[in-house]
């Protein structure tokens, strides 16, 4: 079975249960899960609205990132999904999960997956603040 079990960029709500089910594996001794949510403040400013946009190549870039992580770490499964569109405070923006024979590899691969996704996948965040200012953030946050 392929190590990359689930990848997606979606304009619908994300499911922790779906992602965990995707990486379920009897060979895994440890599974890590990272859930990124929309916070009410950024850099000390109150966030009133947030939207994510993705370049048409984002899905291919996400696959490339997943393939790099799968090749670098001895893991049994990984999954990553990111939301686009308008999100409310507290809504899930991104989920990554990694399963591996041991917790150490799962933790390391999970951190590499989310950090590389944020740095390399062309997903941009547009925030509006209570003071009327706005901000574009280069890669997903």
The total number of structural domains in the chain stands at 1
Smallest CA-to-CA distance from 31 within 118, 101, 113 is with 101
Whole-number Å distance between alpha carbons of 25 and 56: 32
pLDDT of residue 28: 93
Average pLDDT of the segment spanning 63-71 = 98
The string of pLDDT tens digits covering residues 76-116 is 999 999 999 999 999 999 999 999 999 999 999 999 999 99
CA trace torsion 2, 72, 124, 89 (10° rounding): 70
Q: Where residue 70 sits, what CATH number does that domain have?
A: 3.90.1170.40
Residue numbers of the domain that contains 70: 4-137
The string of pLDDT tens digits covering residues 6-26 is 999 999 999 999 999 999 999
Instruction: For residue 2, name the pLDDT band (cuts at 50, 70, 90).
Output: very high
pLDDT of residue 43: 85
Encoded tokens for 78 = 């990984």
């Amino acid at each position: 079975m392929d190590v990359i079990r689930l990848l997606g960029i979606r304009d619908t709500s994300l499911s922790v249960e779906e992602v965990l089910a995707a990486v379920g594996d009897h060979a895994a001794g440890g599974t890590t899960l990272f859930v990124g949510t929309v916070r009410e403040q950024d850099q000390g400013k109150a966030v009133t609205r947030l939207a994510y946009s993705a370049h048409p190549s984002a899905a291919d870039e996400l696959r490339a990132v997943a393939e790099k992580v799968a090749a670098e770490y001895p893991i049994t499964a990984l999954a990553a999904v990111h939301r686009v569109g308008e999100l409310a405070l507290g809504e899930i923006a991104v989920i990554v999960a990694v399963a591996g024979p041991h917790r150490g590899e799962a933790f390391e691969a999970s951190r590499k997956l989310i950090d590389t996704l944020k740095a390399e996948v062309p997903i941009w965040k547009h925030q509006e603040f209570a003071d009327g200012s706005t901000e574009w953030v280069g890669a997903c946050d």
